Structure 1
């Protein structure tokens, strides 16, 4: 949450610094709120200085008010995969500076926030490893890397989780046979990093019957880590009680 009471300027960053990803940031400055019945869009020329590992990187051309008369503006920074001829790595620091021409006292002021590239691993789990056809189960992924905006719940596509049965069945959990609710892994709230979906184990997938007592494999491939390597998590599920 942005602390609005008694604060005239705040810069808050959300999301992990992931090479090739984006980081959202918020600026609270009532001086930029010039249209009290509309949503303001402000050019960032002269307002922002953004560096990664001490090197300037491009920022957004504008920041946009989050709502009518809110005085809070959001922008997004694209994180490069390389900088100064090397790969962006763990420990590199992103710094966003906001240059306020006139603060509450009428003087120029600079506010800054920083965050570093950190190694974050996704955690993949399910509610049960023994599931009967027709039985509901939950799939959970804990991953700060998929948390792109702390003020809004994000999603992870179920197509990233592969389902492989013992009788040649191969699909993803996005298959309608699983009756997913919702249709993607939905973050449980703003900035929780936990994504959940409820599915139902089908009796058949694409015309092939799941055999009672057989084993199916769920596989999640995650390539969002700072190293940009793909990490694979596997869970074996027994079909039936």
Structure 2
């Protein structure tokens, strides 16, 4: 629905750029701070979010009688059809006049067009540092194995779909005979793709990680 207005080719925007590959979008995404990158990790791994776009739209609004513009950080769409726009800011920046104006423009535009608007800070995004640490590991693993082996996925899903409880990775290694390192990569990719649920928000990724499917 949207395409990013600002990409890595834009030399004048941002001083802390990240380029990441999104399996969800099947393209590279361009992020302009550590906080935006960490927010993307959460968006990418959320199975209820089916689409998103970074830097998707230039919003215009009259603020105190003056026409002003701001590019919003992200648009997301959920599997329910609900859409919303998100601005990502460090909490220390929220009192700066430039940021106050940006948020006012965005909120005004969203109100006029019937969209929800949210501001996400490190207080929201970094609430669960264990989850972020795990997601960073999974993304690194995904770079090593961009194309998941279909046989791995078939064997894993065959067990998970027949299970009535959450399954630890130790059991999957034992039952599938997939080498441990390869299974870690395959499961990690399936978590990022939203194919399986996991408890990586509660413990570090490893042999005791539990996975399951919502069937």
* TM over 0.5, shorter chain: no
TM-score, structure 2 normalization = 0.25
Instruction: Compare the two structures and name the one with the higher strand fraction.
Output: 1
TM-score, structure 1 normalization = 0.24
Larger Rg: 1
